[in-house]
Amino acid sequence: MDKTAIKNFAIWARNKLKNEIKVRAGFMGITESGIATPLPASTSDIQYFDVASSEPVKLQGREIEMRRRVVSKLEQHAKESGYQTAYDSLIENMASEWFNRLIAIRYMEVNDYFSDGLRMLSSVQAGKQDPDIVSRPFDSDLEFTDAEKIQINDWMDHNKADNLFRFLLLKRCNQLAESLPGLFEVAGDASEFFLRLGFVEKDGFVYKLVHDIDEEDWKDQVQIIGWMYQYYNSEFKDQTFYELKKTKSKVKKEQIAPVTQLFTPDWIVRYMVENSLGRIWLDGHPDKI
């Protein structure tokens, strides 16, 4: 296992995801400086926000409800800890959620855990750019409405592979929520709005996830998820300890998990089990020694 490659990717990925999520939050009128009020032209069906671009950003349909839920949670958190802390936690949590989901999907596809056998982020065919599910969406076990089937065909006819990829990724995440509800979310969750991934750009999360870490490191190596998590939080942990030492302050509630949760390698787990439960069992079964 190339831990250097894993560490480099995980540290890069945290900053990449946070930056992209900040941009997406800005499209909802949520920035470090505060929560924007919809522009006067907004209605109950369409909301407009000035994001300092040539044209206002438009939210409609379920995006408005997503924003309402996000803003409600953000405002509640801000009452308890201040807006800056609440905003930072929102960005950090959304980045962490998507990081964990995507590395789980990568692990599952490499180890052929999907019942339809279609990879979500890559292809079993060497050198092929499009993920297998993007090339063959109707061979998947995902369920589509008639309207969705029409939209999928339209994206395929007009070579809009990234649009199709994002749609299928959310579909897969919603499907996985049935078996892994603590990691994935059902359709309509606000986290859907916070990330717009593609698979083509070489500086993108998906491309680097697939290409920067050797595929062999994912095979029968569930430890890779633990190392990913630890390295993902390494910069945050180091910065937190530096600030604590500098200011002589205490760890905040939102800092506890990333600074205390460390991955335990399998050899340490085996040592602990063999010398605790294993020893107790042997003491109770001397004839087995």
Would you say residue 202 lies in a domain?
Answer: yes
Find the DSSP H helices in 118-157.
Answer: 132-135, 146-157
Residue 269 is assigned to a structural domain of this protein: no
Integer Cα distance of 207 and 130 in angstroms: 11
- Which uninterrupted H or E stretch holds 47? strand 46-49
Percent of the chain with pLDDT strictly greater than 90: 58
Query: Does any domain span residue 243?
Result: no
Q: Are 108 and 133 in contact (CB under 8 A)?
A: no
Considering only residues 50 and 278, tell me which one the structure prediction assigns the higher pLDDT: 50
Give domain status of residue 96, yes or no: yes
Select the more confidently predicted residue: 184 or 240. 184
Give the pLDDT of residue 242: 60
Task: Give the pLDDT band of residue 232 (cuts 50, 70, 90).
Answer: confident
pTM: 0.83
The answer to whether residue 212 sits within a structural domain is yes
pLDDT band at 235 (very low <50, low <70, confident <90, very high): confident
The DSSP secondary-structure symbol of 73 reads H
Residue 87 lies in a domain: yes
Q: What is the pLDDT averaged over residues 55-71?
A: 90
Tell the residue number behind the tokens 């390295």, with chain if given: 231
SS3 36: coil
The pLDDT assigned to 127 comes to 85
Distance between CA 170 and CA 173 in Å, rounded? 5
Domain that holds residue 174: 3-232
Task: Give the three-state DSSP class for 131.
Answer: coil
Quick one: pLDDT at residue 139? 97
How many domains does the chain divide into? 1
Per the domain annotation, does 221 fall within a domain? yes
Does a structural domain hold residue 165?
yes
Residue range 19-51, pLDDT digits in tens: 999 999 998 899 999 999 999 999 989 999 987
Burial of 288 (0-12, 13-18, 19+ CB in 10 A): exposed
Per-residue model confidence as pLDDT tens digits over 124-160: 998 899 999 999 999 999 999 999 999 999 999 999 9
Q: Taking residues 201-223, what's their average pLDDT?
A: 90
